[in-house]
Homo-oligomer: A and B are copies of this chain.
């Protein structure tokens, strides 16, 4: 019934109409949208057109479609888990992470040897194809069901100078910080944050819904002279979790790039 003809393609007009209805609250979160047949009648278009419009809204993450049941307005709920990226030291000097104890390991960590890629090589200030110890963990926060993939990458170079690391390359991060500190290093950290769409295997491991990007954090532990010691990666679905940082003002003037 409702006549539409404004922007461009038919299916985009239908999509826009439904989108407005959702954003204006006419269709409440978690409520059932009209079925494809009803939408066909409502807008006087064919089924492919309706499905095309629905596909567009799906790609925007506005709706979820369940086979045999219908299309539901996605509860655009904010993330339920805040991952605080901070590092603290106890009175004895040991390291503690604010999130260290919420995560459980879903399976045995898997360790392996690998080489730097263009990306990890740049972060570690190494060339490509340099040898690394790797350790992958699948983490779960039981209280929210949030899943995350954690990876530790330690250059052979570094592991050689720190016997404990070479023997057991797959320790929890806090333990690695402690070992390196005991070995005489003074640690500081930098993190870079990216977002991208998941690869198929990430989609399944992290159990992500449609149109859900993943947040990708890379934490580099630096020595006192600013040289990278090792790398931690954390990946998780951006629908359930967010990152939190603390910032304080430096005394030095801002630099644009790290030497």
Contact = CB atoms under 8 A, between A and B. Distances in A.
Interface of A: 19, 55, 59-61, 78-79, 82, 84-90, 95-98, 100, 119, 187-200, 211, 213-215, 219, 238-239, 242-256
Contacts of A187: 249
A238 B193 CA distance: 9
B197 A211 contact: yes
Contact of A78 (B79, B98, B119, B200): B119
Nearest to A196: B238
Given A247-B190, A253-B88, A196 B215 contact: no
A252 B193 CA distance: 25
Contacts of A96: 253-254
Q: How many monomers of this chain does the complex have?
A: 2
Contacts of A250: 86-89
Nearest to A218: B242
Contacts of A215: 193-195
B192 A244 contact: yes
A220 to B, nearest CB: 10
B188 A248 contact: yes
A256 B84 CA distance: 8
B242 A88 contact: no
Given A195-B215, A196-B213, A97 B245 contact: no
A186 B144 CA distance: 35
A153 B161 CA distance: 50
A194 B238 contact: yes
A257 to B, nearest CB: 9
B242 A245 contact: no
B244 A191 contact: yes
A21 to B, nearest CB: 14
Given A60-B199, A98-B254, A196-B238, A191 B88 contact: no
A60 B249 CA distance: 39
Contact of A196 (B61, B247, B254): B61
A86 B86 CA distance: 15
Contacts of A243: 192-194
A122 to B, nearest CB: 8
A235 to B, nearest CB: 11
